[in-house]
Every structure is written in C-alpha cells, then in structure tokens.
Structure 1
C-alpha cells in the first residue's frame, strides 16, 4: 500500500467519523428539543391542573400563595361555629367553610386559638392573616372604635360577610323567672363572653335598669365558661349569638340544661375580618366565598350544622352597621 493510498483511506475514515459525530449531534439536539417541548408541555399541563384544582389561587397575594397557608385567629370554643372535637381538631361552621375556601384558593386555612377580644389586635400585629370567629361585622369594628368609650383605638378592619345571626337569651331549663326580653334582666345576673355583642348589649341594658334593680354581668374568656357558670346556678341567664345558644340548648345535658327565651335581637352579619391594608386578600376571600355559594358547598355546610336560617345569597364587604 502506497503512502497516497494510506492518506486517502485515512481521509475517508475521518470524513466518516465527522459524519457520524454530526449525526449524533443532530440527534442529540432533536432529543433535547423534544425534552424541552415535553417539559414545557408538562409544566403547561401542571398549571392547567393547578388552575382547575384551585381556580382562584391567582387572586391571593403572592406572599400567601407562596407559603400555601392562611393563618386564622379564632376563639375555638363557640359551638357550633368553631369548637374542638375530642381529638383537639377544630370543627364547626367556620372550619368547614374555611376548608371550602381553601380549595378555591389553593391554600390551607390554619386555625390558631386565641381569646375573642384579642383577635383584632392579632390582625393588627400580623399574628394572623384573618380572624374568623363568629365575629359580628359592626361599624365600630370597621372604624377601630371602642364600643364602650366611642374612642378610636386602631385603624379598624374590613369584613367579608358570610352569615346572619341575632342574639338570644337562654336560661336554666324550667327556671326562666319570667325572662323574655332584655328589660326583664334588670335585678338578675347574666353570663356572657367578653368582647361580644352580647356583652355590649348587657352593658347597655345595665345602664337602663332602674336603681335597686341592677343587672349583674359576669364576663368570661369563652362561651363554654359562661355556660358552666350558668349550669352551676351562678347566674340567672346567659346570652350568645342565636346559633350558639341554640346549639347549647340542644346539646348541653342532652338538652336538659337550658332553654331559649324570647326572640332574637340585633340581627347582624358575621364577617371574616381582614386588616385594612390587605385589600387583595380581602377581595380573594370574597371571590372564594361567592364561588362556594354558587357551587353549593356553602349550602351543604350551613345545612350540616342546622343553621339554614342565617344563610346569605352572596358575599358582602363591610355590610355591618
């Protein structure tokens, strides 16, 4: 074999190797391109699935969306609105509704227990993202005004209203002492939960009572403590929001401890409280609430707890007066 022949053979081999390498490179490029397209396709499918699973997630503030959790301040001792089962899990109207809202928004609502009269303060200090605790939407709370003194104590909160309830009086069963109205409480003792509308009504009534017929008010951190006091004979009557009073009458002592007297008063909306500067979160909650009302989940939850009379047809922002 001559030198020239050797050189031609080597050149052909080199060309073959170059061609092979080129083919591999092209194939690799096509493969990578295909993977890229598939990745984009997978991401697109994932986004679509996520959007379908949580259709309103994009309405939440990015910070909350990224965390995946909404912190909820609540006094979890107000059955049937929120209370703990035997395992310590929060159950009731509010937790059930929060779960339904969470499905729309793609986040978990995490209930954190606190005394009722500290919940709005917790919102102001950013301890909670929301307060959801059978809280009546009132103009004073919207404006940050102390209902006792009329003085400004904070910037107030916004409410997304989701239920309507009045206030009821209940007594030991068979021991009504002729109590039917708030005027009938003069000269008696009443138990209430501190910071509630019932507490406000009791203080207002006490100012109206004639001399010699003082209304004694015993205020407790939670409604269960108030019920225990009344059950033990330490007071003549108690007052709570109607759903709570009705539930206590139905369940306490197997229905033998209490009875409701008179009619509901001060019917007003329950609201989910949101800090004034969190308008994006407020509007996301409203949109989610409207969605669960529309899809029927809201109706099922309200019926589950036997409080259909308080249902609303649509979410409202700051509907309290």
Structure 2
C-alpha cells in the first residue's frame, strides 16, 4: 500500500517495491476479508506440501510445528499483488505463492489469517501467529522493538528473513496529477494512505517541512484499498503505497483508467518474514527453505508471474534492514 525515495524512515511497514514495470496478470483488485479471519484457501494445503516425508528441510523446523503441520501466518490480505483475495475469495499473490514453495521444502502448510497491518507484530508477540508475512519492511526499529515516532522501546522486537526489495510510490487520479512529482510537491495537498506504513512515516516527515499556509493533510486508513476508494471518489489529491501495490492499482483499477503513478519510487528496502526473537529455529528453517527455492528456480518463477522480478533477491538474509 505505497511509493518512495531516499531518506530511510525506520519503522513503518513499507510494503515497498522494486523499480521497473509491473506486468501483473489481470486478477481483479478485490477488498480483503474481515479483520482476524482465518483463511485456508491460499493453495498451500495439498497433500504433497503437508507431507513432511517428501520435504527435504522438514527436520529443520521446531518439533511443535512439525507435529501440527501448519505455520500460522498473520497477514493484511488486502494488498494486491503481494497478498489479496481474487474474485473467487481465494488468497493469492506473491506472498501466498512463496509460502506454498516454502511449505513444499518444509513439509507444512502455511495458513494465512488476515488482520490489520499495524496489529501483526502484536499478534506475533502474543503467539496468535507463528510468522507475519505481509509485505512488511525489515527495519532496525522493528528488529529492536522501538516505536519509530517516539523512539521508545515497546517490545522485544522481531527477527526478519528478507525475501524481496521494494520502494514507495505516489499516485494520483489519472490525468489530474496537479503538478505532483516529488514528496515536497504535496505541501498544500491531501494524501491518503494505509496506517502504520512507510508511506505514513514519509508523509508525516514531509508535513513537518511544509511552510505555513501550505499544510499537508494526511488521512490514514486500515488498509490500502480504503485509501484508493477515497482518492477515486475525489476525497484527496494523491495516494501512496509500496511500488508494486501502487503499480498494480494503476494497472487494474477501473481497467487502468482511475490512477497514474507520479515521480520516482523512494525508500527502497527489504520485505521480511517476521519471526519472534525467541523462535530462532523457525527463523533459520525459513531461511534455509527460501535459499532452496531461490536455488531451484521456484522463487524466480513467482517473481516473473507477478511482474516483480526487479525486486528479486539472490539469497535469504536475516535482519538485513537498516
């Protein structure tokens, strides 16, 4: 849900994204289901995936997860093309496809459960989820459990297994960019975005720079699709989200007639699978599985399928965010 540039704003979620055109298959942009709803329809539950006997890396998982055969994933499933519901209600996208590939290596099913983005780490801490996988930007603040706005310690932090690189973009109604090309052009305008994201951090930082009489107004929503709806209806001048999400909205909303990207993406940074600090065995198993799917070519097929190959990584990295 966003678009970006040079400064690194540590905490927000950045669902960010890779440079380059995004040629995504024409799945419809569909709103995510209700908060905190379990979803088993991401296609990862086939017998081959769930069978640890056929999985080369099953032995690396914690025994408790091997016994139940499921990795519970917290995700904001309203962020096409990273994770979203298709027209049939099935959870699809980059993250679910990658989870399927990881599941085949580990002999488990990745079971997606939807929640608002800014509650996912809390759900991870409370053990509602085993991992959070939701276009979440790996940042030092998140690793250390620091609130990016106050600088105060709010939790024990999480570890990340980084699997993609993305940046943030700005988009406007098509044919009505109002001269917006950079973040500094937003002074005197109104921007809509998703709460808890890098887009929100960038907007707040920019608002502090705007001169008197040219205030930047920010309206934040629980999910990116709500922000898109607001902009589409004329309730704002611009929106911001991670590049792949913004590019997908531009391509699909209104058959490509609703929005346009403006300026360059910024704040390129890694997406990571978040894991509790205490669960190093699961973290290391995920890293091994990701390296395996990169090596066997499944990872590249997924990147190509969703048109995001320029955000692909060459290897899994633990806590690579800065």
- TM-score bracket, normalised by the shorter chain, equals 0.7 to 0.9
In 2, Cα distance between equivalents of 1:142 and 1:180: 32
TM-aligned CA deviation for residue 53 of structure 1: 1.9
Instruction: Say whether residues 1:194 and 2:187 are aligned partners.
Output: no
TM-aligned CA deviation for residue 87 of structure 1: 2.3
Instruction: Name the residue aligned to 1:97.
Output: 98
In 2, Cα distance between equivalents of 1:53 and 1:86: 32
TM-aligned CA deviation for residue 51 of structure 1: 6.6
In 2, Cα distance between equivalents of 1:179 and 1:233: 16
Q: Deviations over 1:260-292 (max 9, x none)?
A: 000010000000000000000000000000000
TM-aligned CA deviation for residue 248 of structure 1: 0.3
Equivalent residues in 2 for 1:12-161, closer than 5 Å? 53-161=54-162
TM-aligned CA deviation for residue 86 of structure 1: 2.0
In 1, Cα distance between equivalents of 2:321 and 2:134: 16
TM-aligned CA deviation for residue 162 of structure 1: 0.3
Aligned residue-pair number: 272
TM-aligned CA deviation for residue 88 of structure 1: 1.7
TM-aligned CA deviation for residue 81 of structure 1: 0.1
SS at match of 1:94: helix
TM-aligned CA deviation for residue 89 of structure 1: 1.4
Instruction: Name the residue aligned to 1:252.
Output: 253
Q: Deviations over 1:279-313 (max 9, x none)?
A: 00000000000000000000000100001110000
The runs of 5 or more residues in structure 2 that have no matched partner are 1-50
TM-score (norm 2): 0.84
In 1, Cα distance between equivalents of 2:259 and 2:166: 19
In 2, Cα distance between equivalents of 1:284 and 1:104: 10
TM-aligned CA deviation for residue 84 of structure 1: 0.5
Instruction: Name the residue aligned to 2:280.
Output: 279
SS at match of 1:126: coil
Instruction: Say whether residues 1:204 and 2:205 are aligned partners.
Output: yes
Instruction: Name the residue aligned to 2:168.
Output: 167
Higher gyration radius (CA)? 1
Q: Deviations over 1:42-80 (max 9, x none)?
A: xxxxxxxx6772000000000000000000000000000
TM-aligned CA deviation for residue 208 of structure 1: 1.0
Q: Deviations over 1:106-165 (max 9, x none)?
A: 000000000000000000000000000000001111111111111111011000000000
Instruction: Name the residue aligned to 1:184.
Output: 185
Q: 1:312 to 1:184 in 2, by over 3 A?
A: same
Instruction: Name the residue aligned to 1:34.
Output: none
SS at match of 2:304: helix
In 2, Cα distance between equivalents of 1:211 and 1:133: 37
In 2, Cα distance between equivalents of 1:272 and 1:237: 29
Which of 1 and 2 has higher RCO (CA within 8 Å, sep 6+)?
A: 2
Instruction: Name the residue aligned to 1:301.
Output: 302
In 1, Cα distance between equivalents of 2:53 and 2:210: 58
State whether residues 52 and 108 of structure 2, in contact with CA within 8 Å, keep that contact through their aligned partners in structure 1: no
The runs of 5 or more residues in structure 1 that have no matched partner are 1-49
In 2, Cα distance between equivalents of 1:51 and 1:167: 38
In 1, Cα distance between equivalents of 2:89 and 2:121: 24
Q: Deviations over 1:16-66 (max 9, x none)?
A: xxxxxxxxxxxxxxxxxxxxxxxxxxxxxxxxxx67720000000000000
In 2, Cα distance between equivalents of 1:300 and 1:314: 15
In 2, Cα distance between equivalents of 1:127 and 1:235: 36
Moved over 6 A (4+): none
